[in-house]
Structure 1
Amino acid sequence: MPAKFTLADGSEIPAVGLGTWQLEGDRGQEAMVHALKSGYRMLDCAFSYGNQALVAKAIEESGVAREDLFIVDKLANTWHSAAEECLERTLAALKTDTLDLWLMHWPSPLNHHGNHPKCPTLPDGTVDYEKEWNYVKTWETMIEIQKRRPEVKRLGVANFGIKELEAISMTGVLPLVNQVELHPSCNQENLHRYCLQKGIQLVAYSPLGSTGSALLHDPGLKTIAEKNNVTVAQCLLSWGVAKGWPVIPRSSSPERLDQNLEIQQLSSADVDEISRIGKASPKRYVTAPWHTFEEIV
């Protein structure tokens, strides 16, 4: 099983990363330190997670050299029209001179001066979008920033469907990565085919489904896991890597962190069966009031 995937620019991205969403306080820091000491080398971060300073502390405490890490961060929805300032705050909070990958978190520019830092609303309760702005303009801004700022090594997007990818392709610059919810019940087959054709690497967030995911309790998946002497979570992560994309699970449990890093070689029959089980119960766990996803097919 690959330890890394090669991106369209010839660089490499680790096959397994640590999701840092909701890793907060002492427990969150301890989890990140443990993960780094155990061998995780990709940290998936975001401005909107509000824990960039904690990530910086964890990196420092772990003793892992910055040059050995692949740090991902994301432009927040309410900062589309102030992208460079968001980047500067991100670099300062993470205490790093570079980002290995900078993503547009969502194709959803929200009012930078609205009534909430994450999801501003209008008086009628609807989402307050940035006026006279769109995500194509955001992508153009990110391209322009990267051209003159070596701090940004690579550009990508997150939560983009084919429609949004087609729209930004008009700029002549495609993202190297598209990070999306991706697991057997949300297999993104059409999107995966499109991205393969365009040279865009899919990356899976929520690769286990989500907290309380039915996949973790599926009898068929338990049978496959027992046969391979692994956990159901390891099966799901290994399925993703076998299908061709990096996975970024999140956990604060040292035991699960260690298990999640151990990608297993599954037989093609097992990979196919895991896909079949997922298709039988399609489900998208992540929703957002500011974005409408394509239907699961």
Structure 2
Amino acid sequence: MLPDHFTLTNGQNIPSIGLGTWQLDGDKGYNAIKHALQNGYKMLDCAFAYTNQELVGRAIKESGIAREDIFVVDKLANTWHSAAEENLKLTLESLGVEYLDLWLMHWPSPLNHHGNDPKTPKLADGSVDFEKDWDYVKTWKTMVELYRKYPEKLKSIGVANFGVKELEAIIEATGVVPVVNQVELHPSCNQQQLFKFCEDHDIQLVAYSPLGSIGSPLLQNKDLAGIAARNRVTIPQCLISWGVANGWPVIPRSSSFERIDQNLQIVDLSKDDLNEITIIGSQNRQRFVTAPWHSFADI
């Protein structure tokens, strides 16, 4: 039977499936989050950069589900690396919660806090405006300080979109290993080098875009459709189940009540099915999430 949670190095349990809240806005987004919480979801994946924290907070409050029964993840925004403590304060206020179960550095990319755009500030030549005299190692040091300063506000800290190089840098500089590294992870972006490094250092990988993002060819793959038909489930359910079976939580996103419910119903796939899904992905290697402020090492 597939696990309903994974245990982090600090003893905290992270649910196997969460709801991604990116682009969940307005009444449709609010209703989707509330429905998910009321129908079995135990984790919400949020971010300051998604600009919907107040909506998420309202859904949490009005869901009727106790705060302690929801694993809330949020992320330090790129343009707030040099003002992390203020970003944490604003995040808690916007969500209307007293603590985060997990706070992540969204990207290893400090952008100008006083730039010309709150998300992606640009220089006159059109290039990305990075924070001067700052780097992600300084950001991690700050997050570690805040974690120690506010144990009642931060249960765990981690990172997102980090490769081996970035992980080695922050560990060497601080001696503090992030409990989680959240990355794009699906059969077509099956980051085995990164997975091996994280496994060796007890860092829990968490998969965003576990279906391969919007319009993913995986969702139309005939071989995957055959596996899904054999198991009487959908292709998304196969991909989510593949991730959990391989050892990481997954955070699919949807605003459809039907798909939200389906995504929570994972299935024990056979070893042959799991291997076939891995092979299908290796034959269709693709990263869907890119950013002008960061270059990835591998897929």
Q: Tell me which stretches of 4 or more aligned residues in structure 1 moved more than 6 Å.
A: none
Structure 2 unaligned regions, length at least 5: none
Which letter does structure 1 place at the counterpart of 2:50? Y
| Matching residue of 1:161 | 163
Question: What residue in structure 2 maps to residue 55 of structure 1?
Answer: 56
Matches within 5 A, 1:204-223: 204-223=207-226
- Confirm whether residue 267 of structure 1 aligns to residue 270 of structure 2: yes
RMSD of the alignment, in Å?
0.5
TM-score by length of 1: 0.99
Q: Name the aligned partner's letter for residue 205 of structure 1.
A: Y
Residues in 2 aligned to 1:16 and 1:135: alpha-carbon distance in whole angstroms: 28
Q: In terms of mean alpha carbon deviation, does 56-65 or 127-136 score higher?
A: 56-65
CA shift, 1:295, in A, is 2.4
Query: Partner of 1:282: helix, strand, or coil?
Result: coil
Alpha-carbon offset, residue 61 of structure 1: 1.6
Structure 1 unpaired stretches of 5+: none
Q: Distance in 1 between matches of 2:125 and 2:295?
A: 19
Q: Per-residue displacement from partner, 1:100-136 (whole Å, max 9, x unpaired)?
A: 0000000000000000000000000000000000000
Q: Given residue 147 of structure 1, which amino acid in structure 2 is its aligned partner?
A: R
Aligned partners of 1:30 and 1:15: how far apart in 2?
22
* Structure 2 Cα separation of the partners of residues 78 and 247 of structure 1: 26
Residue type matched to 2:214 in 1? T
SS of 1:132 mapped into structure 2:
coil
Q: CA deviation at 1:60?
A: 1.4
1:24 aligns with: 25
Displacement of 1:10:
1.5
AA aligned to 1:238 is S
1:94 maps onto 2:95 in alignment = yes
Instruction: State the partner residue of 2:182.
Output: 179
AA in 1 matched with 2:4: A
- Tell me if the contact between 2:17 and 2:250 (Cα under 8 Å) persists in the aligned partners: yes
TM-score (norm 2): 0.98
Q: For 2:61, what is the secondary structure of its paired residue?
A: helix
Q: What's the counterpart of residue 228 of structure 1?
A: 231
Report the equivalent of 1:147: 148
The CA deviation at 1:202 is 0.1
Determine the C-alpha separation between the residues in 2 that align with 1:218 and 1:71.
33
Tell me the SS of whatever aligns to 1:233: helix
Equivalent residue number for residue 130 of structure 2 = 129
Q: Secondary structure at the match of 1:73?
A: strand
Q: Which residue of 2 aligns with 1:191?
A: 194
Matched, 1:200 2:203: yes
The amino acid across from 2:275 in the alignment is: D
How high is the sequence identity, in percent, across the aligned residues? Answer: 65
Alpha-carbon distance in structure 2 between the residues aligned to 1:10 and 1:66:
19
Counterpart-to-counterpart distance in 1, 2:147 and 2:217: 41
| Residue 279 (structure 2) pairs with residue 280 (structure 1) | no
What is the CA–CA distance in structure 1 between the aligned matches of 2:11 and 2:213, rounded to whole Å?
A: 32
Instruction: Give the C-alpha shift of residue 198 in structure 1.
Output: 0.2
Determine helix, strand or coil for the equivalent of 1:141.
helix
**Cross-structure match for 1:105:** 106
Match of 2:120 in 1: 119
**Could you tell me whether the CA contact under 8 Å between 2:191 and 2:298 is conserved in 1?**
no
